[in-house]
Each structure stands twice: as C-alpha cells, then as structure tokens.
Amino acid sequence: MIRKTLIILFLFMILLVPASASADSDIKLVSSTTKIDFPNLLTFNIEAESSAPITRIRLLYQVDKVTYAPSFAESWPNFQPGNKVSSSWSWDMRKGSLPPGAHITYWWIIQDSSGNKLTTTKETLQFDDTRHKWQKVSDKMINIFWYEGSKSFADQLLKAAVDAMSRQEADTGVKLDKPVSIYIYANYRDLRGSIVAAEEWTGGVAYAGYNIISIGISTGNLDWGKVAVAHEIGHLITHQVTDSPYGSNIPPWLDEGLAMHAEGTQGDSDKEALKKAIEAGTIATLQSLSSPFSADAHEASYAYAQSQSVIEYLTSKFDKNKIHDLLIQLNDGSTMDDALMKIYGFDLDGLDQAWMDWLMGSPVKNTGSETSFIPNFNELFASPAFTLTAG
C-alpha cells in the first residue's frame, strides 16, 4: 500500500513539472561573450544549437544605475535560422553612452520552431576603459582609479574626497549611502577621449545616476584636482538624497553651495567681495540663482561664492540636520519656499535677508538685484569645467 502511494505521488509530481522546463533542455547555449570597444561600442555575441531550427533570439540587458522602477532594454539580433546559429548585437554608444566602470547585466532568450525556449543565466559585465592600466586605492565609500602618477598622487586625491565626505556629514548631516568611483585621467585629452561627443571645455563629468566621476588631473595640477574631486563628491552626496523619479528638485544655489562647502571654508577675499555687492545694492537674489548660472566665468564665480556663503550661514546658525531635512522635503516634492518655511521658519526672500544680515553683522536693507554684480573673485574656472549628469 505504501509503495502504491509513493508511485502515485511520484506520477503526480511529474505532472506538476512545467512543459517548458523539459522542452528547454533541447536548446543549448554554446557560448555567450562580449567585446568592449570603449567608449564607442559594446558587442554581445551568442552561439546556440537545438534539435529543431532556432527561430528567435532576444537579448535583454539593464544598466546598474539609480532607477525607481525595474526596467530593461531588449534587442533582436539578426541571424539565419537553423539548428546551430550564431549572432551578435552592438550597442552604439553614440545613441546612449556609459561612463567607465558602469555595470551591465544581460541575458538571452532563445526559441526554436518546436516551441522550446531557453532563458540563459544573467551575467554582469563592467564597461571598463581598457586602453589604460588602472590602479586602485580605496577608503570605505570612495574608490580612486588612476593610471599615471605615483601612489602618493592618488592617495592625496583620495584624502580630498574622504575629507569632503566627512565635512558634509559633520556640517550638514548628509552622507553617502552608496560607494563612489572616481576615474582620474592623466590629462583633458585622455578624458575627452573617454566621452562620446565631449565638449572642448569638458574637464570632468559627474554621472550622478551611476555614482561615478571622470576627471582629468595631471600630476602637475594636483592642487586643482583635490578641489575638483571634493566639489564633485559634494554633488554626488547631495544627489543621492535629492534625485527622484521626477528628477531633481534642487535649485542651483543649493546644489552648488553644498558642493562648494565640500571643498572647505570660504576665503576672506570672497566674503569681502560679497559684502561690497551688498553695500552697493547689486547683490543677486537667491530667486535669480535658482536658475542655471551664467556661462560667463566671472558671473558664475560670483554665483558660486554667494551660494557657498549662504550654506555657511545655514550650517553655522542652525542644527546641522536641518540641511538634510531640507533636501528630504525637496525630494518629497515641496517647493523651496514651503520646504524652507517648514524647516527654518522663513521662505526664500526671508533667507536672502537673514543671510545678508549675518554676513554684514547687522540688519541691512534688501535691495537684491536680478542681475549679478561682478566682483574680483579668484577664478574658479582656470581649468575646464565639470558637467553633472543624472544619466
């Protein structure tokens, strides 16, 4: 009786096995490879065979980046149907480029004329710039990759990044929650050669969605490099908090002010120039600095300095966690006025006034201008500029 029961149970379990599972064994993946031609091309190759002619091959892939809904792309490579087939598909990066070090997960779905289907195991590749022999130094959340210069050179850049990360957490309550990789190219020429359709003025790119930075720093330009690395770490820390499915709701004065704060304390010469602008009644309003900064280097330098000073006011006069709370409010969709009122008790105009009173040391009449006074700031753009992208 027991034996009969076991036989019936065994037959029942066989009936429960999906037909596709047994059918899948007729299709065999012979090989699946990739070839990287950085930065222009990523090619996926496949060979497969089956007892029945293979009629369909589909490639599915997804990039490891900040996203708010699981998604993948697909491609249908061309091939001649048959019992043994090979095919390939190339991702032309001119239609959507990736930064160095980006991770791509991919898999294939293969079908034959008998209705058999095979879904291959997912594989992950790293889109590396193999033209250079990269070395690596790390400290917890920061990874520095470089190929020219001594280890001391890389260690100093790493320290600048770590110091910026620590400064932001201590002063604003905002910290990295995902590791950041920084690729140091030996010069601007090499950097631009790593970017599809790079602009001539590009000195670096911060890929916020990937937590990757690419920057050109020569061994003779280390001082600028340390400042630039700190600045871009500041951006990525901020955008890890503020980027949402609806984009980033953070205005330029807050975004750039926090990035400037990551560099360190503002110099006295910049503070004096801001005071002169206030006295002259030509200080820009924060409302005007809520739009993209001017492309003019001097005007942009002024906007950066004012933004940094406002952040120094907020971090010195209020609890550090209020900056973090402000970013959370913006990420949740609040307007700047509403977020400021909820966290600090004043709106943007009120912040304008409070900041000027603090900087001048006494109440001043707010005659903020929509056009910028151009003081004699230290040139922030002595080296090519950065591009921040969420993609």
CA dihedral 226, 387, 267, 318 (to 10 degrees): -110
Q: Are 99 and 209 in contact (CB under 8 A)?
A: no
Q: Does 376 have pLDDT greater than 70?
A: no
350-366 pLDDT tens trace: 999 999 999 999 988 76
Q: What is the pLDDT of residue 69?
A: 61
Q: Strands of 151-303 (E only): list them.
A: 180-185, 202-207, 212-216, 243-244, 247-248
Which residue type is seen at 136? K
Q: Please report which helix (H) or strand (E) contains residue 19, including its range.
A: helix 19-24
Q: Does 249 have pLDDT greater than 90?
A: no
* Mean pLDDT, residues 309-321 taken together: 96
**Which comes out higher in pLDDT, residue 4 or 202?**
202
Q: What is the pLDDT of residue 201?
A: 56
Lowest-confidence pick of 190-199, 250-259, 265-274, 317-326: 190-199
Q: Does 263 have pLDDT greater than 50?
A: yes
Q: What is the pLDDT of residue 97?
A: 81
* Mean pLDDT, residues 249-270 taken together: 94
Which domains are delineated in the chain?
A: 23-127 (2.60.40.10), 135-389 (1.10.390)
**Which comes out higher in pLDDT, residue 157 or 194?**
157
Q: What is the pLDDT of residue 377?
A: 34
pLDDT band for position 12 (cuts 50, 70, 90): very low
**How many angstroms separate the CA atoms of 208 and 185, rounded?**
18
Q: What is the pLDDT of residue 299?
A: 80
- Residues facing 125 on adjacent strands: 104
Q: What is the pLDDT of residue 200?
A: 59
Q: Does 26 have pLDDT greater than 70?
A: yes
* Mean pLDDT, residues 165-173 taken together: 95
Burial class, 101, CB count within 10 angstroms (exposed 0-12 / middle 13-18 / buried 19+): buried
**How many angstroms separate the CA atoms of 178 and 155, rounded?**
21
pLDDT band for position 245 (cuts 50, 70, 90): low
Average pLDDT over all residues of the chain: 86
34-46 pLDDT tens trace: 999 999 999 999 9
* Mean pLDDT, residues 268-296 taken together: 91
Q: Does 229 have pLDDT greater than 90?
A: yes
Percent of the chain surpassing pLDDT 90? 70
Lowest-confidence pick of 33-47, 65-79, 193-207, 296-310: 193-207
112-139 pLDDT tens trace: 999 999 999 999 999 999 999 999 999 9
Q: Please report which helix (H) or strand (E) contains residue 127, including its range.
A: strand 123-127
Q: Does 2 have pLDDT greater than 90?
A: no
Q: What is the pLDDT of residue 256?
A: 94
Q: What is the pLDDT of residue 215?
A: 94
Percent of the chain surpassing pLDDT 70? 83
Please tell me what DSSP assigns to residue 272: H
Q: What is the pLDDT of residue 314?
A: 98
Q: Please report which helix (H) or strand (E) contains residue 108, including its range.
A: strand 102-112
**Which comes out higher in pLDDT, residue 297 or 215?**
215
